[in-house]
Structure formats: C-alpha cells, structure tokens
Structure 1
Amino acid sequence: KITNETNFRLASVTKQFTAFSILMLINEGKLSFETTLTEIFPKFPFYGKNITVKNLLEHTSGIVDYESLIPENQKDQLHDKDVLNMMMQIDSTYFSPGEKHQYSNSGYAVLAMIIEKITGNPYHVFLKERIFDPLKMETSVAFVKGENLVKNRAFGYKLENNEAVFADQNLTSAVLGDGGIYSNVYDMLKWESSLYNEKLLPKNLIDESQLRKTTTSGETFDYGYGWRLEKLDDYEVVYHTGSSTGFRNIIYRIPSERLVIIFLSNRDEGDTLVLARELAELYLSN
C-alpha cells in the first residue's frame, strides 16, 4: 500500500540536492563556481583544466556520457567513483566547456565525487547530516547497499503485455549524484518549503540556482543548477523530472504562487510533466 511516506527512487529529481550540496560548499568558501576539475583532482586529464564547477552544475561541461562507456560485459552496478574513473580514462569532451548546454548525468556523478573530495565524507553521509537531518526528512536516503536502508520502499515496475513486471534496478541505479536518492511526498514537501527560507543556504544562492543560464556565445537555456525552467502562461516554473528503470517522478513548482506538485510513481511509463502542467493549470484557473 502506497502512502505519503512511501519512498520512491527519485532518479534525476536527485540533481537538485546534488547542486544544493555544491552551493553549500561554495557558500562556506570551500569551492567556487570557477574551481576547475584539475584543481580538485590533480590527476584528472588535461581537458579538465577548462571545466569548472559551474559548467558541471548547468550542464555545459561537454563531458562524455558515462552510459556510452559502459563495457558490454559489465555485470556489477556502477558507482559515482566508477564514473569519475571513466572520465579520467578519456582525453576529450563533446565540445568546449561553456559552448553548449547538453544534459549530463556524468557531470552530476562527478559533482558527488567533488563533494566527497572536499568534505572527506561519503556523499550519502553528507546528504544525511547537512540536508535530510536538519530538515527532518526522516526516511529520505541516498541508498548505498550495505550502508543504509530504504524504509517503506516502493520497488519499480514496468508494463509488459498489460502486466506489471518487476523492474527496479539497472547498471546505473547505484550512481548517487545523478539519481540515487529515495524520498517520499511528505519529506519532499519539507525540502520544497526550505527553499523559501535561509535555513540551509542564503536566498541569493537559492535564487541563483533557479535562474536561466547562458553559453559562452550568449545563448540562454532553460536550466539553472539542478532545476529545469519553463513558462506556464505568465508564470515562471521551476521543476525537474526523474525517469529511471521502474520510476517516473516530478517536482513542479510555481514559486510566485507557492504552488508545488509532487508526483512519484513506481512504474516507468507516462509523462509526469504533462500531468503536472495540467494540474497546475487547473489550480491556476480557479
């Protein structure tokens, strides 16, 4: 039975937490937006000297999609450190950093490893101590097998021939930075509410994370730091979807109206963005 406290794998809804964690470190002076990969990881290949933390946050780094590098005979699940190692085995990017906006799971796995390097703590521990515990998100967790448990866990399914078939994990499901958090509607409301106060981060940085960014050529794109952006009628929307094996999710926010729609599901079908837009329009029309 699903309740408001059932925990779903957030998939890419996780990215807002990874970005927020990086902003916390920037606020503390432990990082800057312009810190480069080679400054953080001295053994990183030469191409990393031009990739900044800001590039990773806004998906303008150009680093290669790690899923394209997974060996065909890979049996074990990948972790964030494996993604970093993959990036250190290659010598080029898709494009020059800052030149384009191209969504990158690799970038957010690398951000998780930056958090670990800077703090000396595993990413799942940082999240618990710095975000989940202070906000009393009591059962939210970045799941690491053997290290923690997902309470009230929903397992993923897919439809085959009109029947629900178990489909909960794949080779990338253990990568945390791009999609490894489990949470529930109740905890996600606590998280969303925190974005209107300065309990964890100053307002200027929260606002900065929810503004459109530009490429080096001046082209503006609809992404901030861990948040997608769009207009719904005349309203500014801040949102992110999350899709992975067995799960489809969205958090859809209209800050000017203090409206939030959170949709978590354990079946990998349907368009949560279309649903969220329809619900928002219904609310706003009344």
Structure 2
Amino acid sequence: MQIAVSLAVVVSLTTACSAPSAAPPIEPATASLPSVDRSAGAGARASLNETSGEVVLPMSAYWYSDRENVMVNTAVAFLIYDCVEDAGFTVAPWGGGGKALQDYRYGQWSRSLAARNGAMPEIRMIPGVMDEQPERPPLSAQQQEMEVKCTSSVGRAGLPELLEGLAGDTSLQNQITRNAVALTERDSDYVAFRQGWEECVAAKGLKVAEEGSWNLKSSGSKEDEIRGALLDLDCKEASGGAGKPYDILAQYQAAQMKDHQAQLNALAEEKAAAVEHAKQILRDHGVADARL
C-alpha cells in the first residue's frame, strides 16, 4: 500500500463501517473495577444529537471533538509533507475532511436516523480545513520511502492523540471511560432496562443477533431493517427511553471525575494548547482563519 494512503488516514476521522455490528469505541475493562457510587454523578446526562448521531458525554470535554481532530491531524500531515519537500520531492495538493461514525454501543437510539438508515449507524461528514483536491499522482519508490521516513521522524509532532478507545491507552481519561462502560453494564438499572428491551423485542417477533448484542436479526432488506429499528426504539422507549443507557454511562463518568478534577483540568489545558498549536501550524501553511 502506498504511503499516500497512510497519510490520508492521518487527516481522516473514523472510517465508516459497513455493518451495524461495529464494535463500540471502548471495550469493557477487564481489571477489577473501582467502587463508584453513581449517585455522585446523578446530575449528568448524555447529549444525543438526533440529526448527526453524535453523543456528548461528560468525558467528551477531554477528547478532541470531530473538528479538533481533523485540524490536529491535518497539521501533522502538513509537517510530514514539509519533511518530504525538504528532501527535494514535490508534494501534490491535497485536502478534504473526515468521517465519523454514530456512537452505536447501545444500538440505534435516534428515531429520525432509524427511519432513514434502519439499523445502520449514521456516518457524519466533518468539514476539512481545505477543499478536497484530485487524487495524488503515482509516487516514485523513492518518494514513498521518504514519506515513510518522514512519517516516522515527525510522529505526532508533540500533538497528543486525544481520541477515545485507542488501543493500549492507559491514560486517566481512558481508564475513567473504560470503567464507566463496565460499571454501566453491571448497573441494576441498566440490567433492568436491557431485560425489558429484550422481552419487548421478543414479543414483537424480533430476535437479538447474538447474546449481549443490541443488534436485531433482519431479512436484509432495507424496509425490514427500518421496520425493525423503529420497533427496537419503541421497546427502548417503553423501557425508559433510548437515551437511558447513555445517561447511566454519563453518571458513572461524572462520579469518577469528581476524584480526579485537578488532573482533568490539566488535561483540558493540554488539549486546548494542542488545538491552538495545530491552528498555528495550519495558519503558517496558508489556511485561513475562517476555515479553523
């Protein structure tokens, strides 16, 4: 695979999945869980955007937003290309935005998206800082080799990769997020919600795709998927609302955050500084403030 593809990935967000069974961004923690009183975060709620499929949770403040991630990754890509140009190669124009996938860890939760997509997660487009350009011309072996070297030498250029669910991430923010997912799955309110939903979908003649999954079996036709997704939501509403699992998750996040606020404040400052640094890199490379 050409390194040009790898550099394109630097700029893009999550690649869209082709099936509704996409894995959640965070796997449940396997280590022993802390004892967390959910009532300590009782005021927290998840924000579910019914149009875009975006979920905002208390810990979202400490991860890059979709837009921030595009800016940071584009800044890194600019520095990689600077390195390639310094080595005497010509870099073709490029640009474009990214894509992000609807949070689907508890299945479909938006009635408007269900009516359009059925059980398929929504793919939202994230505007880029530059207009998309034609595909890059074929690269010589020498330039591909140099792009590999520059990608390695530039690395992240001091810009942290603040994204939820990265493999091997042992940071505080990822630990809080992982713990919250696992604690939610063990919560009595969540278990009751899940049981009520399973009984309801079974009564409507629907079958869960596999144990523990929030996906339902269907004939594969678009009409059947939409019908199933809307019935799925009827059952979630009857069990307490499609947003209830996310609210429980939000409360477990918020409850843990109270014990680590000083560290999280420092992280928020680090994130803000990284985003501002990325913006300055983009300005230095001719990106107008209106695109930032």
TM-score over 0.5 (shorter chain): no
| TM-score normalised over the length of structure 2 | 0.28
Structure with greater strand share of residues: 1
- Structure 1 or 2, whichever has the larger Rg, is 2
Using CA pairs under 8 Å that are at least 6 residues apart, name the structure with larger relative contact order, 1 or 2: 2
Q: More helix by proportion, 1 or 2?
A: 2
